[in-house]
Chains A and B, each alone.
Chain A
């Protein structure tokens, strides 16, 4: 047998050999003085190195580590991320915030609509007002029915409420995926724009017109509020029986870069399935924090018809309280807003901030959310009657330079 390889000698020296290999080397060493000599060299070299590297060993009193305590700290440090996502916090996920969060008034309606696939649902929220202005309001989403999972009773009550009170008068069908801008523009019926700086979009899809109407049933709404422990919130009597009709034009979403694969819902009637898909999608969106995905949503302002005597401000106040504002905050905010023309975007307190910027030649709102992996932005503006929402990762200058490249 030829001499033993240094690697195997080392393994032998470290006591990491067993079985036939060990027997073979032991036998060889018994009759080979060269290998015995080499083994000794390795032993000395190992000892020399360890005597130096070993000085790094921490002193015994330094290694009293309490992992349970460390875990408690770790878990609290990342509490936001570790909290199980309630359905409502999923709805507040940054990706969907600009779409869904359109009006505090719409909040109640939004929740009522949530049985439907998310896209349709999001657009229904969008529909509450004819939007000319954007205003941001910060809310505390943790107070917002934070314990209500999709299986909870309030959630089911909401679903039932919707089923009983909402009539879809125009079904958008499935979104159409189009391959180019020209087709998108033809389908949408208004000029569709893309982000020039990002090249060809990964996908463009166009969702058809939607219309629905609902009747406000004050008793049912009050029951719901009681159910979620907010019987302090008051729905104005004048709202009872009001018929609200909503029409949403076609919406175009283009996505760029490494965007999550979007799952399509299959059928409007298959409630639970569609709901499950929508939630999974929302959840995935919420969790895709480090992908390089940028999107642009374009939607002409929806129109909402409400009875002239309906006091939107009162309903808005109730909705804002539901969303986590104190009654005083809600009241003073509502006084500053023209509910017939303003898109109100709720953002969570603490993690988000917003500023007014000039974009696309008009005034826009830039919402920045600080995540542990970096910032995420949503830039909202209205140009020629079309609501634009541009979202992605990065800082405000990234958002503005992308917006400047729209064509």
Chain B
């Protein structure tokens, strides 16, 4: 078997490692924003890399980073939505989130609660909009966003405006009395 044929069906080990090392940290950080939990973020990141590994290299050729951000955030939003459903029940039962952390200073508690509200809203808007917001907030440039979401750079400004508007509306609708935006 020639190396050319092999490359279409298998990742070269060194090449895959390079891709992993290049993107891993940033993707974990993005997913930590979404999921708020280091180990779950790592789990989902591994899942994304595992999917990449299964992809013949040709299919993601040229845009591996974009493919990874897209896949990882899709998986992250799915996980967020699933945990949101679970958490609603848990909260109904427990009365308040994070009650177990009684030593947490009040400020931290408030901050954690705010994060939770943000995640609830992200889980409730269109996944594509949540994806755009979380990636932009994580510092991706327009070019990176265009690669990740497979859209034209010229459309991103409009999409960001709309996604933010949707986010603000939902946030205020769900938490009218919590605070001003």
Residue-by-residue, is B149-176 near A (CB-CB < 8 Å gives 1, otherwise 0)? 0000111111111001101100100000
Instruction: Tell me the complex Cα distance, A241–B163, Å.
Output: 80
**Contact in complex: A67, B24 (CB < 8 Å):** yes
Q: Which residues of A contact B106 (CB under 8 A)?
A: none
Q: How far is the CB of B160 from chain A (nearest CB, A)?
A: 6
State the interface size on chain A (CB cutoff 8 A).
Answer: 44
Q: Tell me which of A5, A14, A49, A276 contacts B1 (CB under 8 A).
A: A276
Within 8 A of A (CB), among B1-51: 1, 5, 9, 13, 17, 20-21, 24-25, 28-29, 32-34, 36, 38, 42, 46, 49-50
State the interface size on chain B (CB cutoff 8 A).
Answer: 48
Q: Is A77 an interface residue (CB 8 A)?
A: yes
Q: How far is the CB of B105 from chain A (nearest CB, A)?
A: 14
**Contact in complex: B157, A82 (CB < 8 Å):** no
Q: How far is the CB of A343 from chain B (nearest CB, A)?
A: 31
Residue-by-residue, is A103-127 near B (CB-CB < 8 Å gives 1, otherwise 0)? 0000000000000000000000000
Q: How far is the CB of A9 from chain B (nearest CB, A)?
A: 7
Q: Which residues of B contact A287 (CB under 8 A)?
A: 9
Q: Which residues of B contact A6 (CB under 8 A)?
A: 157-158, 161
Instruction: Tell me the complex Cα distance, A7–B160, Å.
Output: 8
**Contact in complex: B115, A55 (CB < 8 Å):** yes
Instruction: Tell me the complex Cα distance, A290–B167, Å.
Output: 37
Residue-by-residue, is B51-66 near A (CB-CB < 8 Å gives 1, otherwise 0)? 0011000000000000
Q: Which residues of B contact A62 (CB under 8 A)?
A: 32, 38
Q: Is A51 an interface residue (CB 8 A)?
A: yes
Q: Tell me which of A48, A55, A58, A276 contacts B114 (CB under 8 A).
A: A55
Q: Is B134 an interface residue (CB 8 A)?
A: yes
Within 8 A of B (CB), among A258-311: 276, 279-280, 283-284, 287, 290
Q: Is B119 an interface residue (CB 8 A)?
A: yes
Instruction: Tell me the complex Cα distance, A52–B167, Å.
Output: 10
Residue-by-residue, is A66-94 near B (CB-CB < 8 Å gives 1, otherwise 0)? 01101100110110011000000000000
Q: Is A32 an interface residue (CB 8 A)?
A: no
Q: Is A57 an interface residue (CB 8 A)?
A: yes
Tell whether A71 pairs with B156 under 8 Å between CB atoms, given A45-B164, A280-B5.
no
Tell whether A280 pairs with B1 under 8 Å between CB atoms, given A10-B160, A48-B181, A58-B33.
yes
Question: 14 interchain pairs (CB within 8 A)?
Answer: A7-B159, A10-B158, A45-B168, A48-B168, A52-B167, A53-B137, A58-B33, A65-B25, A67-B25, A68-B21, A70-B42, A71-B17, A75-B17, A280-B5
In the A-B complex, list the 8 residue pairs whose CB atoms are closest, starting with the nearest: A7-B158, A10-B157, A7-B157, A56-B33, A11-B157, A67-B24, A49-B164, A65-B25
A: residues with CB less than 8 A from B are: 5-11, 14, 16, 42, 45-46, 48-58, 62-63, 65, 67-68, 70-71, 74-75, 77-78, 81-82, 276, 279-280, 283-284, 287, 290, 372
